[in-house]
Amino acid sequence: MLQILSPLGRINEALNDLTKAIQLQPSARLYRHRGTLYFISEDYATAHEDFQQSLELNRNQPTAMLYKGLTFFHRGLLKEAIEAFKEALKQKVDFIDAYKSLGQAYRELGNFEAATESFQKALLLNQNHVQTLQLRGLMLYHHGSLQEALKNFKRCLQLEPYNEVCQYMKGLSHVAMGQFYEGIKAQTKVMLNDPLPGQKASPEYLKVKYLREYSRYLHAHLDTPLTEYSVDMDLPGSFKDHWAKNLPFLIDDYEEQPGLQPHIK
């Protein structure tokens, strides 16, 4: 019954079934399953307890060890997360998700070299691992390595054309390098990915209209000396406020920025 309930989103029912099963006959597998459901529900502290119980019953479980690390990661306990990811890799040396998560934790700690090494190891095991390409691209972008970041986002999109994070970041990278035409083209693709009825809009979908308008604004002022224009004066205060709060683009009396002007290079 459990296998049917949890994919249908009936997590509470599945949790109740698992709790009863654990009371009857605890096992590493049951604790791991219940921990995974708590993890999906974002109850990371309770999930951690279950993964710990599972590992005490059967130490050699790389997936449970990975998830134990992720429960630390999502609570900001990065050093503990790193230790758990390393332990998972001792148990399974070719564990791509553990290398990816290790890279992510090092990135959050600001250890660029260690993060790069972990992402590289994940990609040596599978050069088409989309999540790792995405994370490595984000890290490179924030490190100022725009060309390298762009390569990762392009590769990510070859493998997964509708990946909104990579599409958004591709646009952002182009604009940051002054390549406005390519940047706005990439941003427009994200804008066309309307959420389905009842589906929550992604953060990228909510942000991209602001980014496109800002990109157009910057492009329109390329030939204008910096002292002669001001974003604060030219764009309404609600524009920046809504953008910062990730609100839908609904600004009263907003006048769209001009499209790209061919004469401005």
Q: Where are the domains of the chain?
A: 154-265
- pLDDT digit string, tens, across residues 89-132: 999 999 999 999 999 999 999 999 999 999 999 999 999 999 99
Residue 114 CB contacts under 8 Å (≥ 6 apart), including other chains: 103, 106
- pLDDT digit string, tens, across residues 151-193: 999 999 999 999 999 999 999 999 999 898 888 888 888 888 7
Distance CA 41, CA 36 (A): 9
pLDDT above 90 covers a percentage of the chain that reads: 56
Q: For residue 208, give the nearest of 178, 166, 255, 238 by alpha carbon.
A: 166
Distance CA 139, CA 149 (A): 8
Query: What is the pTM (predicted TM-score) of this model?
Result: 0.81
Phi, psi (deg, nearest 5) at residue 25: -155, 90
